[in-house]
Structures are given as C-alpha cells and as structure tokens.
Structure 1
C-alpha cells in the first residue's frame, strides 16, 4: 500500500513539474529602441514618468508603426506645460503631468507579439518646427528621419555624460527614454520628456500556485513514507 501511495504521489509531483516546465518561457525583446519596439511574445511593460522640461504641453502615446498618429493609447499627459513654481519650465508628476484621468505617475501597456510599435510625443498646437506635432522614439518615423529620443540603460537624468544608446532591454531592468521635442530648433538636449520602462512583474496563475503546492507537498509525503 505504501508503495502504491508513494507512486501516486510521485506521479502527481512529476506531472505538476512537467506542467510548470511547459509554461511559456520569459518573453524575449526583439527590439526596444530607435529601430522600433518589437517583442516575440505579448509583453507588458510598466512606464514611470520622471520629468518634463520646456514650454510645450505634450502627451506621450504608444503607437503602432503602421499607424503612427493614432492617439488611442496615451501613457502620460501634461495637464499644464510645467509646474507653476518650478524653475526652467520643469514638469513633475502629479503636479503637472499624470496618467490620463488619474493622479498616477505609473502606467502600463501590453505590446502584442510581432507588432512593431513606437513611442510618440505629441505637442498639440505647439508643433515643433518641421513636424506635425509628433516626434518618435523610432528614428525612421520622424520627419526628417533622425533621432528624437535616446534610450539609456538604468535611470539617467540630464546633464548627460554621453550620447546615449540606440536600444536597451526593459526585461533586464529599468530603461530610460528621453525625448527632444525640437521646440528650440532641434537643440538635441533630450530632456523635454523623460520616462523609464521595465517589464511588469507577473503574478503566478492560481493553477501554477496549485501545481507548486502539489509538488512541494507530494515530495514531503514521499520523504516521510521513505523513512
């Protein structure tokens, strides 16, 4: 009888372990930077607003590269061009910048697998020179095509010590994306709108937790039986 029970419990443990091993692997970043944003699995990224600087009242969106002026996915909006009491036209959250319709400084977006995206900074009626109000994190979408955002590993704030990176990986840690809105004649200061991005920590599904409990409990009973 002990042998039968042990075999049953061992089967449960092995079955649960196999189920857990069959779960999808961690998503891989195909691209996150100046060549576009592209993942090979549905991936949720958490964005934090850091600060803005300048006279423009802008909104930051996630857009699909195939439809770069679609405003249906806003991340952060400047409710005022800058904080009333701040020097040098600096905007902070939640004083002048928030997630639309809330006072939050953190937003998230789920990027669909194999769909190319970009971040788009829109300055409304305060159109930066030579644009229709949009500048993009993807170089090729800008008019003319050039770099209007830099991507940095970690949390980086001005003054910058280098020109930044072309891409980074938000699945490995925080990434800073800093925009230049062309408002001062394309001055290349990359401090007009600054956010960070990082993969949102996933919460295990209930079935996964049950499986883990079965594995742990079954192995404990097996050891007791063997004694």
Structure 2
C-alpha cells in the first residue's frame, strides 16, 4: 500500500517561529480531542467509520494519518475508503459516488474500524486526483493547521497556496446539514452557523454517532463541505470499556451516560496562546508592509 508523508516546512520567518514556540509553551496537552485541532485519545480507542456519499469530479481516497515526533510530519497509515472512479454516473447528481459503485474499501465493507492509540496525534486526510492520474496529487486535512502553505506533500510537486498561513478549515464535524440540490453556502444551509461552529466533537457525540464531511478544495475551494461524507461512532466494545473504567452503568443499547457527555471547555491559557499567536503574525505583516512602503 502506498504511503505518503505530509511535512511541515522548516523555512519559518522569525515571527512565525516565535508564534510556534509561544503556542507550544502556552497550549497545554489535551487528553481528548476530535476535530479541526487534531484527533487524540487518552486511551486506545476504536472508532467505526461508515461511508455515506461523495460528490464532485475529483477521484479521492480517505486516509488516517499519524503525526511524527514533534508534529513535523504526518504519515498515511490506513486507507479507510477510496473511489475507483470519480462518480457512479458521470456528472449526474453532482458527480455522486456511492459505496459499491464508485467507492469501496480494502475489505469491501462500508464500515471500517480504526484503533487510535493512546496519546498519539492523528488527522484524516482526503487525497484527490483532480484528473492528472496521480491519486495523491493534493490533500485536504481534517486538521485545519495542515491546510496552509506551511505544509506540503513530500515527494510530489503539489503545494497549497490558496489558504492563509493560519490554515483554512476543510472539514466539518457534528450535526450539520448538507443540501446537494442547492447552491447556497454551507452557512445558509445551516441557519447562519458557519463551519467554524462544527469544528470539534464531544465523546457523547462519538458515542451516539455523528457526521464528518470534507471539502476537497476543488471548484475554486468553494467550501461547501459536500465532497466526501461519512459518519464516526465509538465502537461498542470501546464504549463499554470506558464505562467500566469510570464505573458507570451502560444501557443495553449503548446509550452514552451523562458522565461521558461533558463538553470540552477551552482552558484560558489555550485561548491566550492562540490570541498571542495571531497577534504576532498580524504585527509581522504590518511591519513588512511598512517596509515595502519606504
């Protein structure tokens, strides 16, 4: 199976290097996260991923990628689903692809189980062939910070130039709506809620089952988040183990108990660190602009 590494560039400006250092110091380690900041669990955790549908002319594959030491790179380690052709029937239904027709998996099952190892950092990567015949031509990451020019795919000519240094969101998580028959924006379809409001999942959402959907950066990066959709759910055996560890009774239908449903609250130091980082970048841009005007 082909593997490819996504690498963070080392040619930082002084300001971006300082920002990275400040964020590293100010941001505490998070035991659990599942969203645009990354994927991490405080114990080995099995997640069931079930394919829903794909749209768009790109031919894509969805991988789990694991961070290398220091988060300087991510390596593909498991292919969950992949398209054998761009769609079921040409451009019909916005290039719709369904499982068993345009989409399949290594074991031909519509549900794939992946074990996330304790304290390891992961991301989901949607790799696409935009028509060149190269299946790993470009990517969209579930982790927003990887969707910026600061990252590139090793051993390819692909470079992302359409997002700011801070990255851009290419995946949404949670109970959102998609309208494949409408040209309205994601925000309009979701009653004024933008993609940033669908950026992380709680353990309760994972236990009950929830959606993940990608924008593959095609079509001028229209961010409609309709290009590759699946669901994610905590595997029953994992849910049982967590309930037993916390000595919480679990219903026979695996309904998540209230004790596992707490919303993650950002720690003040994390918010401060993020604001400090953005401020450093803004200051660097202003200084550069003043220098060009002289």
Q: Structures share a fold, TM > 0.5?
A: yes
3-state SS of 2:172 partner:
strand
TM-score after normalising by structure 2: 0.54
Give, in whole Å, the separation in 1 of the partners of 2:65 and 2:145: 14
Which residues of 2 match residues 119-158 of structure 1 at below 5 A? Answer: 119-124=124-129, 126=131, 133-143=138-148, 144=163, 145-153=167-175, 156-158=177-179
Cα distance, 1:157 vs. partner? 3.7
Instruction: For residues 151-196 of structure 1, give each alpha carbon's deviation from its aligned partner in whole angstroms, at most 9, with x where no partner exists.
Output: 113x744354132411013533112111011110110110000011
User: What 5-or-longer segments of structure 1 have no aligned partner?
Assistant: 1-27, 209-227
Instruction: For residues 80-121 of structure 1, give each alpha carbon's deviation from its aligned partner in whole angstroms, at most 9, with x where no partner exists.
Output: 110027422000111111112x33211010000100100000
Across the aligned residues of Structure 1 and Structure 2, the Cα RMSD in angstroms comes to: 2.6
How many residues align? The count is 173
Give, in whole Å, the separation in 2 of the partners of 1:201 and 1:80: 33
Give, in whole Å, the separation in 1 of the partners of 2:194 and 2:131: 26
Cα distance, 1:65 vs. partner? 3.0
User: What 5-or-longer segments of structure 2 have no aligned partner?
Assistant: 1-29, 149-162, 181-188, 245-294
1:183–1:125 Cα change, 3 Å? closer
Give, in whole Å, the separation in 1 of the partners of 2:67 and 2:174: 21
Stretches (4+) displaced over 4 A: none
1:79–1:174 Cα change, 3 Å? same
Which residues of 2 match residues 1-227 of structure 1 at below 5 A? Answer: 30-66=32-68, 67-68=73-74, 70-84=75-89, 86-100=92-106, 102-124=107-129, 126=131, 133-143=138-148, 144=163, 145-153=167-175, 156-158=177-179, 160-161=189-190, 162-164=193-195, 165-169=198-202, 170-202=205-237
Instruction: For residues 25-47 of structure 1, give each alpha carbon's deviation from its aligned partner in whole angstroms, at most 9, with x where no partner exists.
Output: xxx97100000001000000000
3-state SS of 1:140 partner:
helix
8 Å Cα contact 2:57-2:86 kept in structure 1 = yes
Cα distance, 1:51 vs. partner? 0.4
3-state SS of 1:120 partner:
strand
8 Å Cα contact 2:66-2:77 kept in structure 1 = no
8 Å Cα contact 2:171-2:215 kept in structure 1 = yes
Higher RCO (Cα < 8 Å, 6 or more apart): 1
3-state SS of 1:202 partner:
helix
1:59–1:76 Cα change, 3 Å? same
8 Å Cα contact 2:212-2:230 kept in structure 1 = yes
TM-score after normalising by structure 1: 0.69
Give, in whole Å, the separation in 2 of the partners of 1:56 and 1:183: 8
8 Å Cα contact 1:126-1:133 kept in structure 2 = no
Residue equivalent to 1:17: none
Give, in whole Å, the separation in 1 of the partners of 2:31 and 2:210: 13
